[in-house]
Structure 1
């Protein structure tokens, strides 16, 4: 069962919202709502239009994972919306890895030199995943000025591509 990873647009907003809010609210008890994430209501304008991207991982036509890249200046971008449905996590499917590899490949092809991300300390498996993929810790004060900060984020990582 090989996942299909493709760029997605607004026609998948509802499926992405269902997947992401479920994980944020029910699985990790993060106090966040769709009102805090209006980007999910307009994937096309928020991600694709600015030179970033939004990808979905599908298994049997079901959206089981997402990852997004928001370009916030000429050579820098931030990872957003990295979520994989619980049943599809781990090495058996490698969905998170395939999503991240797709995003990094896109960044390199589009001359993005640095990728940043913000998350929360509670997401320990995610932090280990990013470390395995050569992301290094960075203090919030050292983030680029235009980094798009999300309210709950308090742990930050950086991946230089050059």
Structure 2
């Protein structure tokens, strides 16, 4: 085993991993909200067909994690639906996905990446701060669980 992490783009063959990883994560920490059901029922339609992206982190040729970039505008995307399979936690999957996300944001010449999270998720908040995300005061979110919005200026 070479323990390498590769980030690969969405394919229909991997779509079920996107849904399963996110549902497992949501059920463990919160609940699957109606907006999540909509996003996870047809991820290609919800993310990719609207100009966004879905990626998978592969660890030793297994799907270890996933995340999406949801298009908000031509210059702003939302980092969305980031999840790592529990059996791969502690293997720097989250770091690899964040590195890739930041490279993609630069490649796409985005001005900003935003995200919504919950402060109960200490390791996730720490990861976002490590990559330069800062808290946005006074925000609205369609997620009931979101009690923090963060953003990073890319350009």
Name the TM-score, length of structure 2 as normaliser: 0.87
1:84-111 per-position Cα deviation (integer Å, ceiling 9, x unaligned): 1223223xx3211111121221121112
Runs of 4+ aligned structure 1 residues displaced above 3 Å come to: 33-36
Is residue 2:99 matched to residue 1:129? Answer: no
Instruction: Tell me the residue number matched to 1:71.
Output: 71
Tell me, which stretches of 5 or more residues in structure 1 are unaligned?
none
Q: Matched residues in 2 for 1:37 and 1:139: separation?
A: 27
Shift of the alpha carbon at 1:32?
Answer: 1.6
2:4·2:60 contact (CA, 8 Å) conserved in 1? Answer: no
Q: Matched residues in 1 for 2:138 and 2:95: separation?
A: 25
Name the TM-score, length of structure 1 as normaliser: 0.84
Instruction: Tell me the residue number matched to 2:86.
Output: 86
Is residue 2:113 matched to residue 1:115? Answer: yes
1:154 to 143, 147, 155: 147
Change (3 A) 1:79 1:157: same
| Count of residue correspondences | 153
Q: Matched residues in 1 for 2:11 and 2:56: separation?
A: 9
